[in-house]
Amino acid sequence: MAQQVSGIVAMAKGEPVSLQQILVPDPGPGEVVVAIQACGVCHTDLHYREGGINDEFPFLLGHEAAGLVELVGEGVTNVEVGDFVVLNWRAVCGQCRSCKRGRPHLCFNTHNATQKMTLLDGTELSPALGIGAFCEKTLVAAGQATKVNPASSPSVAGLLGCGVMAGLGAAMNTGGVQRGDSVAVFGCGGVGDAAIAGAVLAGASVVVAVDVDDRKLAWAKEFGATHCVNSSETDPVAAIQAATGGFGADVCIDAVGHPEVYRQCFEARDLAGTVVLVGVPRPDMTLELPFIEVFGRGGALKSSWYGDCLPERDFPMLIDLYLQGRLPLDQFISEQIDLDEVEEAFHKMERGEVLRSVVVM
Ligand SMILES: NC(=O)c1ccc[n+]([C@@H]2O[C@H](COP(=O)([O-])OP(=O)(O)OC[C@H]3O[C@@H](n4cnc5c(N)ncnc54)[C@H](O)[C@@H]3O)[C@@H](O)[C@H]2O)c1
Ligand SMILES: [Zn+2]
Ligand SMILES: [Zn+2]
């Protein structure tokens, strides 16, 4: 029987989000219901409510979550009732061209639950990134639930579900940061600071943090940035060259998703270096670059979907590193809030006051 729970919904473009009653169906074949214990507030939730992703309102927001598997549908084998899981938004299919070529982290046909969660009047909800976890319970495809060590708190584990994984992976997977590399990270929110933490974990010797907000730069330093640049006051390209013996960084990561920032990354990179775009641009943005430089500078311009992660491989490993004290995931949590405080958390995010607000159920 469908269960009635409370959840945070964006009813219309640009309007404040609100607490609504939601019906969560019993899991069908290949689906699970997860009782959510914690869910972080990500900039992508705000993009949804502003109509920046698509127009399929109403959205059930929230997607950086951890919780306990409560019900499993027919044929589910990867998790059992009671398992502690982190939810992911790229459940790989195993069948598409990319999966069959041995690149499941780039799966072209990731899947979500087939049944819909609804409002009480039957209006179908679009769950953010196919999850919808600002909610006491949510319905997902079984492949979206990844079992991790329950010794980690739900608030910390849930971070891996989106922004922190995207940032760590932008450095470690997409950027392929190696021991001794120089790395520059533009935009030091949750995603950018995770890229800094990932670069440090991978052994980078120079890590330059770039932001327009000094508070963010102070936090970036705590994650291991060796140099901090406020790009509203100082030319970041010159500053990155100065920090790298005049060369430029081996890996430049755009964690903002703005053409001007991307261009700064492009110019602040050493010859044959790598630019990684992990920030999400708005659909109306266009990019202009000197074409001869795209050739002449060599190297790679890459985009990072979800940090090129493979949840089954990466989530348990990163939680283990956290539990061993090698990955400071606690530092991302600025505050723990109630479900009905998500709208206020968006404002705090816009004012730059928080890295992550985490809803705790
Ligand atoms: N690729 C993925 O899979 C993925 C996953 C999660 C989030 N994202 C995206 O990553 C981006 C960052 O997310 P977040 O949660 O860290 O957001 P956030 O708002 O917490 O952080 C953005 C940071 O960028 C800084 N900034 C803004 N303009 C800047 C500029 N011109 N130069 C330098 N810094 C600037 C802000 O001060 C802020 O510190 C968003 O676009 C989000 O949608 C992508
Ligand atoms: Zn696939
Ligand atoms: Zn997110």
Q: Per residue in 175-202, pLDDT tens? A: 999 999 999 999 999 999 999 999 999 9
> Which of the four pLDDT bands, split at 50, 70 and 90, describes residue 47?
very high
Residue 304 has pLDDT above 90, yes or no: yes
| CB atoms inside a 10 Å sphere around CB 287 | 12
The backbone torsions φ and ψ at residue 185, rounded to the nearest 5 degrees and listed phi first, read -120, 120
HSE-CB for 3 with a 13 A CA cutoff: 15
Q: Is the CB of residue 280 below 6 angstroms from any atom belonging to ligand 1?
A: yes
260 CA: nearest ligand 1 atom: 31
Q: Which residues surround ligand 3, an ion (CB under 5 A)?
A: 42, 44, 162-163
How far, in Å, CA of 256 to CA of 112, rounded? 27
pLDDT confidence of residue 282: 87
Q: Is the CB of residue 132 below 6 angstroms from any atom belonging to ligand 1?
A: no
Nearest-ligand number for the alpha carbon of 50: 1
Residue 52 has pLDDT above 90, yes or no: no
pLDDT confidence of residue 283: 86
Average per-residue pLDDT in the chain?
Answer: 97
How far, in Å, CA of 144 to CA of 141, rounded? 5
Best of 211, 222, 305, 353 for a ligand 1 pocket test (most atoms within 8 Å of beta carbon): 211
How far, in Å, CA of 286 to CA of 268, rounded? 20
Hey, what are 140's tokens? 């997902």
Domains (ranges, CATH) in the chain?
A: 3-161+328-360 (3.90.180.10), 167-304 (3.40.50.720)
The backbone torsions φ and ψ at residue 140, rounded to the nearest 5 degrees and listed phi first, read -135, 165
Strand 126-127 and strand 59-60: the pairing is parallel
Alpha carbon distances (Å) from 66 to 37, 48, 92 = 6, 21, 19
Give Cβ neighbours of residue 63 (< 8 Å, ≥ 6 apart): 39, 42, 44, 45, 87, 89, 127, 128, 129, 130, 131, 132, 133, 161, 162
Q: What are the tens digits of pLDDT across the range 223-276?
A: 999 999 999 999 999 999 999 999 999 999 999 999 999 999 999 999 999 999
CA of 47 relative to ligand 1 center, distance in Å: 11
Q: What are the tens digits of pLDDT across the range 3-39?
A: 999 999 999 999 999 999 999 999 999 999 999 999 9
Q: Name the closest-CA residue to atom 25, ligand 1.
A: 187
Best of 39, 41, 42, 43 for a ligand 1 pocket test (most atoms within 8 Å of beta carbon): 43
> Which of the four pLDDT bands, split at 50, 70 and 90, describes residue 94?
very high
Q: Is the pTM of this model over 0.85?
A: yes
Collapsing DSSP states into helix, strand and coil, what is residue 65? Answer: strand
> Which of the four pLDDT bands, split at 50, 70 and 90, describes residue 340?
very high
How far, in Å, CA of 39 to CA of 192, rounded? 19
